[in-house]
Amino acid sequence: MIENAIYTPESYADRIRQDLRNCLVETNLSNGEKFVDKVRDRYVLGDRMVLITTDRQSAFDRVLAAIPFKGQTLNMTSAWWFEQTRHIVPNHVLSIPDPNVTVAKTCTVFPIEFVVRGYITGTTSTSLWTVYQSGQRRYCGNDLPDGLVKNQKLPANLITPTTKGKEDRPISPDEIISEKWMTADEWEQCSRIAHELFAFGQARAAERGLILVDTKYEMGRDQNGEITLIDEIHTPDSSRYWMADSYEQRMRDGQEPDNVDKEFLRLWFRENSDPYNDEVLPPAPDDLVVELSRRYIYLYEKITGRSFEFPEEGQPIEKRLESNLAGIV
């Protein structure tokens, strides 16, 4: 049973249901070298690239469902944050010609993800809480005090970097430098930028009644050698958000914080299949898909303070993309 503590107008659910079969799951642009990631399709066109955020919903290293308007909410949330943080670091955005599309500068990417954490939480093998529970008190170069409890605010925000490649692994700043993933100066600049971005994001989220729990950033150098923020920023896919108004009480009661994420969809697939080994997975129930779409839209509105702009009714996304990208690719 899904708890509906997250309010959106009833008309939103009706519109989502209307578009359950009008989702963007694949793209086929005529120009550019194409790369397919879990959610985004990238088309590299020399010194720029076209990033199309699809409606694919991934987990367990595979696509589970197509979620109406997910791509639009992710792309437009990122666009808002990119604009808000230009005073901290330049970013790769050149234009937003379509709600699902960002045209961006092509950059030389640092092979490190800058994972920043404000709270000790998580359930995966690399999550800070799992590592802490196992007895480790030093992680990615950070010393952790005894006596922390799950979901507690950390004494200070931490960066727990991971490598980007065939095998992502947690790594310390000393290892990043000694193994030549980055120079000492690059690490110093990028880690400072990551801390500034996260502190800014936490403050803005708090103004909106949200807690920015953790996130990840990616950076690179543009053609002029300037360090540039790339990929996405503070989206529901790259970040964890909790509801601020109930956090303290739920901590006192020993309950998990109220969250706005996709965990309930993961749980449904775990309960109804073996998502790591089954060749074919059952289709996600429409009610779960509608709920997840609603949550993405809720977060977009909560974060940006803007109303979500639904696309024109009845227009296939592919046709809209073709029109909006005419002359660009």
CA angle 71-74-128, nearest 5°?
125
Query: Do 164 and 111 form a contact (C-beta atoms < 8 A)?
Result: yes
- Looking at residue 1, its pLDDT comes to 39
- Looking at residue 2, its pLDDT comes to 46
Of residues 84, 74, 17, the one with CA closest to residue 51: 74
Verdict on whether the full-model pTM lies above 0.85: yes
Which residues, 6+ apart, have CB-to-CB distance to 249 below 8 Å?
A: none
What are the pLDDT digits (tens) for 53-69? 999 998 888 899 999 99
The CA R_g of the chain, rounded to the nearest whole Å, is 20
CA angle 63-66-72, nearest 5°?
115
- Considering the domain 10-107+261-324, what is its CATH architecture? 2-Layer Sandwich (3.30)
- Looking at residue 5, its pLDDT comes to 62
What are the pLDDT digits (tens) for 291-318? 999 999 999 999 999 999 999 998 899 9
Ranges assigned E (strand) in the chain: 33-36, 40-45, 48-53, 56-59, 62-66, 93-98, 101-105, 108-109, 112-119, 138-139, 142-143, 153-159, 162-163, 210-221, 227-230, 239-243
What are the pLDDT digits (tens) for 35-44? 999 999 999 9
Residues of the chain with pLDDT under 50: 1-4
Q: Going by CATH, does the domain composed of 109-221 fall within 1.10.287.3510?
A: no
C-alpha–C-alpha distance, residues 310 and 313, integer Å: 8
Token reading at 121 = 């939480």
- DSSP class of residue 312 equals P
Q: Where are the domains of the chain?
A: 10-107+261-324, 109-221
- Evaluated on CA atoms 117, 141, 108, 197, the torsion sign reads positive
Instruction: Return the number of other C-beta atoms located less than 10 Å from residue 141's C-beta.
Output: 16
Q: How far apart are the first and last CA of the chain?
A: 45
